[in-house]
Amino acid sequence: MSSTTQVKTGAAAERSGARTVALAMFGLLLVAYTLMSADRYLINMLGPDIRAALSLTLPQMGALATMFTLGIALAGLPGGALIARTSRRTVLLLGIGLFSVATLLFTQATGFVSMFVFIVMQGAGMSFLATSMFALSASYFSKTRVAAVGIVNVCFGLGSFLGPWAVGNIRSSTGSWQMPMVVFGLTGIALAILVALVVRSWFTETKGAAHHSESTGGADSLMNHNTILFSVMSALYGLTVYGFLGLYPTFLRDVMKLTPAEVGGIMPFFGLGSLLAYFAGQLGDRFPTKVVISTSSLVLAVLGFFLYLPGLSIGMYRLMALGVGTFGAAIVYTNLAGGHIKSLRRSLASKGSSMFVSSIYAGGALGGLMMGSLVANWGWGVAGQIQISLLSLITAILVFGLRPSEFSK
C-alpha cells in the first residue's frame, strides 16, 4: 500500500514538474508573440517619417501601414500545412526569425516597392508564429479553447501597448526613424535563438489533451457554413481594425499636430484594451457567440463616428483607442478566432487557426489602402463612418446567421 502511494505521489510530482516546465516554455513563446505584436506598429508609428524619406503619397503610405497583413494572409493556410508536414516548433522558429530579419531590412528600403516586399516578408513571419501559437494553445488548453486563444491575445494587447510607446520614445530620443527598427529586429533574432535552445518539441507538439477529450460535432473540412461566415466576418473586422491602426497615428500627427511621443501615449490604450482578451475568451466560452460579437460590433460602429473628430482632448482620443482595443481587439478578435476553431472538429485546430489568420489579415491587407483612399476623397470623418461604423454594423448583422448547434463540443 505504501509503495503504491509513493509511486502515485512520484508520478503526480513528475506531471506537476513537467507542467511547470511547459508553462515556462509557453511564457517564453508569449514574449516572442508580444514582440511580434509590437513590431507591427513600426510602420504606422513612423509613417510620416517613412513617407517623407521615401517620397510616398498618403494612399501609398496607407497601403504600406497595413501591408504586413497581406503577408499574414498569404502565409496563413501554408503555415497550417507546414505545421502538418514538419512541426509547430519549426514553424514557430521560422516565423520569429523571418519577421525579425524583415524588420532589419526596413532600414534598407529605397522606395515603395522595396518597402512593400520587406513588409510582406514581415507579415509572412508573423503568420507562421500566430498560426502555431493559436493551434498550440487550443491543443494544450483544450477544455477552454476560446479562453486559451484569449491568453495569446493578451500578449497581442501587451505588444500593442508597449509597441507604440517604445517606438515613439526611441524615435524621439534618438532622432532617427531607423533606430526603432534596428532595436526590434535584433531583439527578435535574440529571442529566436533563445527559443531554439529552450523550447522542446514534446511541449509544442502536444496533442494529449485533445486526444483525451471527448470530440463531438464540428465540420470535417473548411467548406462549411460556420467557417465561411466566420471568414467573411473576420475579413470585415480586418478591414475595420487595420484601417484604424494603419492611419490613426497619421491622423493624430498630421491633423492634430501631435509629436511622435504624444501619439505614442495614445496608441498604447488600444493595447491596454486588448489586454482584456483572456476575459473576452471566457465570455465566448460562457455566452452565445452571436450575442458577444454582435454587441461588441455595435459599440465599434458607434465609436467610428467620433474617432476622427478634430479638436478633442488627448484624454478623449486615449479613451476611444481603449474602446477599440476592448471591444475590437479583445472581444471581437478573440471570439472570431475561437469561432473558427469551434467550427471544426477538435483534431482540426491547426486548420481552424490558419483559416482565421488568412481571412482576418486578407481584409487587413486592404485596410490601410482603403482608409487612405477614403480620406483622400472624402476626409477623415466620412472615412471613419464608412470603414469603422458601416463594416462593424454589417458584422453585427451577419453573426446571426451562425449555426451554434454545429460547433464542436
281 beta partners: none
- Provide the pLDDT for residue 14: 47
* pLDDT on residue 37: 87
Q: Is pLDDT above 70 for 403?
A: yes
Residues 6+ apart with CB under 8 A from 312: none
| Residue found under cell 454587441 | 295
**Which range in 110-119, 159-168, 252-261 is most confidently predicted, on average pLDDT?**
110-119
Within 10 angstroms of residue 371's Cβ, the number of other Cβ atoms is 34
Average pLDDT, the chain: 84
Residue 219 phi/psi, 5-degree rounding, is -80, 160
Please report, to the nearest 10 degrees, the dihedral formed by the alpha carbons of residues 221, 225, 227, 228 taken in order.
110
What is the C-alpha to C-alpha distance for residues 312 and 14, in angstroms, rounded to an integer?
A: 58
Q: Is the pLDDT of residue 317 over 70?
A: yes
Give the three-class secondary structure for 368: helix
What pLDDT sits at residue 295?
95
372 pLDDT above the threshold of 90: no
How many residues comprise the chain? 409
| Structural domains of the chain, with CATH | 23-406 (1.20.1250.20)
Q: Round to whole Å and give the CA distance between 300 and 317.
A: 14
Residues 185 and 98: their CA atoms lie apart, in Å, by 10
Least confident of 4-8, 106-110, 318-322, 362-366: 4-8
Please report the pLDDT score of residue 148 as a whole number: 63
Q: What is the pLDDT of residues 144-153, one digit of tens each?
A: 555 666 777 7
218: left (phi over 0), alpha (psi -120 to 50) or beta: left
Rounded to an integer, the average pLDDT of 286-309 is: 93
Q: How confident is the model at residue 398 (pLDDT cuts 50, 70, 90)?
A: very high
**pLDDT tens for each residue of 171-216:** 888 888 999 999 999 999 999 999 999 888 777 776 644 444 455 6
Instruction: pLDDT band for 336, please (50, 70, 90 cuts).
Output: very high
Output the pTM of the full model.
0.73
- Whole-number pLDDT of residue 13: 41
What region does 345 belong to: left with phi over 0, alpha with psi -120 to 50, or beta?
A: beta
Distance CA 378, CA 77 (A): 36
Q: What's the Cα-to-Cα distance from 9 to each of 14, 17, 23, 199, rounded to whole Å? A: 9, 12, 21, 27
